Amino acid sequence: MRKNDAFPGAHFIETFTAMDASGDIEEPGTYFIPIMCQHCGNPSCVPACPHSVLRKRSDGLVVMDSTDPCVQCAETPCLDACPYDAIEFDRKTHRAGKCDGCADLVDAGGVPECVPNCFLGAIAFGDMEDEASIVSQVVEQYGPAAFRLKPETGNDPSVRYLLTRRPWKDMEGLYSPAWEGPEGKR
Ligand code: SF4
Ligand code: SF4
């Protein structure tokens, strides 16, 4: 389903492939990493926007208010400010967009659409400050094996990735058929 006014061609959540040649047929090394807005604790996108379109909520979600100012925004600095390439830009309407954690559903007591719609149940959502939540329990259980993307950026990303049997590749060498950059790689 299409949610959050995702415009054609936008990938608010995009699954990348991590190639690992060390695997064999029975234990292939390749794995997949869905990348979306990391809802950073220190979101570099927020101060980058000269029109205050991006905002971090008290619950941690980073959302976009009205994107009307984007139409007059010539430099689109938010795109360069995000180290995760999580912000997409609709060249047709000249507006930015990204995953907002389905803040409207969260406000109504629900979870983001990706959680129930992942048929393998690969995505969990919750309050990391709540010791009883599934995410804090999983992070507690996995410890250092709950990886974060590019922690060196200082953005303090909220998203954790569990990988127990593969070498973690961070974002280096990730491949996405949908990504339109040079050579199709990050
Ligand atoms: S991942 Fe990018 S868009 Fe999302 S909060 Fe962090 S800096 Fe902002
Ligand atoms: S494109 Fe929109 S969100 Fe991005 S910096 Fe410009 S006004 Fe802000």
Q: Does residue 167 lie in a domain region?
A: no
Determine whether the shortest distance from the Cβ of 37 to ligand 1 is under 6 A. Answer: yes
Q: What is the mean pLDDT of the chain?
A: 87
Q: What is the 3-state secondary structure (H, E, C) of the chain?
A: CCCCCCCCCCCCEEEEEECCCCCCCCCCCCEEEEEECCCCCCCCHHHHCCCCCEEECCCCCEEECCCHHHHHCCCCHHHHHCCCCCCEEECCCCEEECCCCCHHHHHCCCCCCHHHHCCCCCCCCCCCCCCCCHHHHHHHHHHHHEECCCHHHCCCCCCCEECCCCCCCCCCCCECCCCCCHHHEC
Q: Does residue 60 lie in a domain region?
A: yes
Answer yes or no: is pLDDT of 159 > 90: yes
CATH number of residue 69's parent domain:
3.30.70.20
Q: Does residue 108 lie in a domain region?
A: yes
Count of domains forming the chain: 1
Q: Does residue 186 lie in a domain region?
A: no
**Ligand 2 pocket mutation pick from 44, 46, 49 by most atoms within 8 angstroms of CB:** 49
- In tens, the pLDDT along 6-19 reads 788 888 998 888 87
Its domain, for residue 48, covers: 39-156
Q: Does residue 170 lie in a domain region?
A: no
**Ligand 2 pocket mutation pick from 51, 64, 79, 87 by most atoms within 8 angstroms of CB:** 51
The whole-number pLDDT of residue 182 equals 45
Determine whether the shortest distance from the Cβ of 158 to ligand 1 is under 6 A. Answer: no
Q: Does residue 34 lie in a domain region?
A: no
Selected residue with higher pLDDT from 109 and 172: 109
Region for 141 from its dihedrals, namely left if φ exceeds 0, alpha if ψ lies in -120 to 50, beta otherwise: alpha
Q: Does residue 26 lie in a domain region?
A: no
Task: Give the residue-averaged pLDDT of 24-46.
Answer: 86
Q: Does residue 164 lie in a domain region?
A: no
